[in-house]
A and B are shown apart, each in its own frame.
Chain A
Amino acid sequence: MTTNPPTPQRPAAAPGASAPMAFLSMAPGAAIAVAAKGLTKHFGNFEAVGGIDFDVYEGECFGLLGPNGAGKSTTIRMICCLTGRTAGSLSVLGIPAEPGQRAIKSQLGVVSQEDYLDPALTVRENIEIHGRFYGLSPQVASERAAELLEFMQLDGKAGQQVRALSGGMRRRLVIARALMGRPRLLVLDEPTTGLDPQARILVWRKVRELKAQGVTVLLTTHYMDEAQRLCDRLVVIDHGHILEAGRPRELIERLVGRECLECPDLDAAAAEQLAAALSPEDEAWHEWQGDSWVLFSPNLARILDRWVAAAIAPPLSYRRPAGLEDVFLRLTGRELRD
């Protein structure tokens, strides 16, 4: 970026204020798949997760969003019984989560960020042996492997070495493998990172099909369009704390409004001029998203008319519905994360 962007003006309501409590009472009576209360994890002096509360209901797709280093992966690892917690409580499928808790792990399917596959084995062997790790008999493992390879559209590849697979196929195989134990809870840690659009669409379709079969899905992703499509509810976490929680549509309307005006490649002076022409009645706020200056307001039409009349309307601009990406950027800021 060549220009020094102005500090975005934000509406009065502070992000995170009392929202999680309202969120918890949204679906009373639904069975709870994951319940976290004051969940905390320290690594030495570093606080990776700083006391978070959330419930995941059975049968929903729940999103865990946040920048790199926000505490998502640590939270996932605690849920998968791969690491202990420092404080707070965590129950998964009604069982207290402890490292190595087999009663939980046997009902879990995990798709980790990296496509860890056994390079020595074929596609079919990879998922069959994983089924055997879950305690399946040879017959059941073999039947289920065939069924899941078909489900993930890999049935033509069963005899191949995994080295020969494309990135998209590897990912699908990891997902098929995670389903070998017929999980009640499927954990997807960035399931579509690095995939081409066709492969992403296939993964989304499969996640919806699984949800329709009653599988609870816990998803982390960096793609806000993905979260918006798949998640029934989500939390945005950063620096180990929950910033906001809710349904995607509700979060968007509450935090950034229905629509916005995006002005690509605007220079800083022009943006300042436009900002100066805003009045408090416009209920507007704006921010830089890369090289685009974006204006959020429930009164966009009125503002545009005024700009046109004053002959200061930007040369290039378009109105678009506000999305989860706008929410995410507003909550977590623009600084690059490692």
Chain B
Amino acid sequence: MLWPRFTKGALMVFRRDFLSWVKYYRSSVLLNFGEPLTNLLALGFGLGAYVTKMSGDPFVDFIGPGLLAVTAMNAVTFDMSFEAYDRLNENGLYLSMITAPLHPAEIVGGEYLWEACRSLLYGLVFLVVLLPLGIVHSWWALLLPLPLLVTGMLFAGPALWVATTAKNHEQLFYYFTLVITPMFMFSGVFFPLTHLPPIIRDFILLTPLVHVVNLTRALILGQFPATLWQDVLWIVGYTLLFMVLPGRRLARRLMD
């Protein structure tokens, strides 16, 4: 357990990530939008022609807000797994940072700040895609930046922990295959959890993405279920819990 440090040094790590992103944003935006956009169009309008209503909403309205949450999660997870793995193991970026007077906890802090912004950025652009499709039904959507920022931090921690633990790129794929993809499929993005067997539903409620999906859907559709406060609590709790995961490990990898 090592808390990230949000210092001036962390801000410079953030700055470095931003400078690097500016160079690559064209290809990286395409990578992060291609998939959810395809899902939205193919499933929302293709499958949506047959599945007209989902929990009382048009199918595309139902999956749009969920895909927004997924977009934010993926944007962060890709960066903090593959990119962070390379920064640690391939191009020595983290090592050169700690030879300058930065502490590993400041590196983690800087990466979290950047991932929060990344999540915000990619989430908002996806929101802009949803607007002309008539999926955004509520002014509450203006509050989305807040959950998006938190979501970035939430998913950055576990991914960075995986990056500091993995021995090669293949092991990073396991994280996607075993964790990210199942979460994507079963977190109420495509169908509500109400008809699942209770034991499976309870298990899903222990994972983080479902709560983010519930929250983004509530804000975009303007429908607030009575249990929404629980989702908020889960999100905040997981964010704090995951935040301390990678620091110690990164420190050990860099300063054995």
Partners in one complex: yes
The stretch that binds B, out of A114-122, A255-263, A329-337, is A114-122
Q: Mark B82-116, 1 if CB is under 8 A from A, else 0.
A: 00000000011101111111111000000000000
A111 to B, closest residue via Cβ: B99
- Report how far A82 CA is from B254 CA in the complex, Å: 7
Q: Are A112 and B95 in contact (CB under 8 A)?
A: yes
Q: Are B101 and A130 in contact (CB under 8 A)?
A: no
CB-CB under 8 A from A319, the residues of chain B are none
Report, nearest first, the 6 A-B pairs whose CB atoms are least far apart: A116-B92, A120-B20, A133-B100, A105-B101, A110-B99, A106-B101
Smallest CB–CB gap between A193 and chain B, Å?
16
- Report how far A166 CA is from B92 CA in the complex, Å: 18
Decide if A132 is an interface residue (CB 8 Å cutoff): yes
Decide if A83 is an interface residue (CB 8 Å cutoff): yes
Interface residues on chain A, size class: 20 to 34
Interface members, chain B 117-176 (any A CB < 8 Å): none
Smallest CB–CB gap between B76 and chain A, Å?
18
Binding site for A on B (CB under 8 A): 8-9, 12-13, 15-16, 19-20, 23-24, 91-93, 95-104, 254-256
A134 to B, closest residue via Cβ: B100
Smallest CB–CB gap between B138 and chain A, Å?
39
Q: Are A116 and B96 in contact (CB under 8 A)?
A: yes
Tell whether A102 pairs with B20 under 8 Å between CB atoms, given A118-B91, A135-B8. no
Binding site for B on A (CB under 8 A): 43, 80, 82-84, 99-100, 102, 105-106, 108, 110, 112, 114, 116-121, 125, 129-130, 132-135, 177-178, 180-181
Q: Are B19 and A120 in contact (CB under 8 A)?
A: yes
CB-CB under 8 A from B13, the residues of chain A are 133
CB-CB under 8 A from A121, the residues of chain B are 16, 19-20, 23
A120 to B, closest residue via Cβ: B20
- Report how far A240 CA is from B95 CA in the complex, Å: 24
CB-CB under 8 A from B93, the residues of chain A are 116, 118
Smallest CB–CB gap between A116 and chain B, Å?
3
Q: Are B255 and A112 in contact (CB under 8 A)?
A: no
Q: Are A116 and B255 in contact (CB under 8 A)?
A: no
25 A-B residue pairs with Cβ-Cβ distance under 8 Å, sorted by A, are A82-B255, A100-B103, A106-B101, A108-B99, A110-B99, A112-B92, A112-B96, A112-B99, A116-B92, A118-B91, A118-B93, A118-B96, A120-B20, A120-B23, A120-B24, A121-B19, A121-B23, A129-B12, A129-B19, A132-B15, A133-B9, A133-B97, A135-B9, A178-B99, A181-B100
- Report how far A83 CA is from B252 CA in the complex, Å: 9
CB-CB under 8 A from B12, the residues of chain A are 129, 132-133
Q: Are B92 and A83 in contact (CB under 8 A)?
A: no
Taking a contact as CB atoms closer than 8 A, the residue among B15, B92, B99 that contacts A105 in the complex is: B99
Q: Are A82 and B99 in contact (CB under 8 A)?
A: yes
Smallest CB–CB gap between A74 and chain B, Å?
10
Residue of B95, B104, B255 most packed against chain A (CB within 10 A): B255
A84 to B, closest residue via Cβ: B255
Smallest CB–CB gap between B80 and chain A, Å?
16
- Report how far A105 CA is from B23 CA in the complex, Å: 30
- Report how far A80 CA is from B254 CA in the complex, Å: 12
Tell whether A99 pairs with B100 under 8 Å between CB atoms, given A112-B95, A116-B93, A129-B12. no
Smallest CB–CB gap between A28 and chain B, Å?
32
Smallest CB–CB gap between A173 and chain B, Å?
11
B12 to A, closest residue via Cβ: A132
Taking a contact as CB atoms closer than 8 A, the residue among B19, B91, B254, B256 that contacts A125 in the complex is: B19
- Report how far A99 CA is from B12 CA in the complex, Å: 21
Q: Are B95 and A116 in contact (CB under 8 A)?
A: yes
CB-CB under 8 A from B19, the residues of chain A are 120-121, 125, 129
A141 to B, closest residue via Cβ: B12
Q: Are A99 and B255 in contact (CB under 8 A)?
A: yes
Residue of B16, B99, B103, B256 most packed against chain A (CB within 10 A): B99
Question: 5 more A-B contacts (CB under 8 A) besides A118-B16, A121-B19?
Answer: A110-B99, A116-B93, A125-B19, A129-B12, A132-B12
Taking a contact as CB atoms closer than 8 A, the residue among B97, B101, B104, B254 that contacts A102 in the complex is: B101
CB-CB under 8 A from A135, the residues of chain B are 8-9, 101
Q: Are A130 and B100 in contact (CB under 8 A)?
A: yes
- Report how far A118 CA is from B13 CA in the complex, Å: 12
CB-CB under 8 A from A105, the residues of chain B are 99-101
Tell whether A83 pairs with B91 under 8 Å between CB atoms, given A118-B16, A133-B9. no
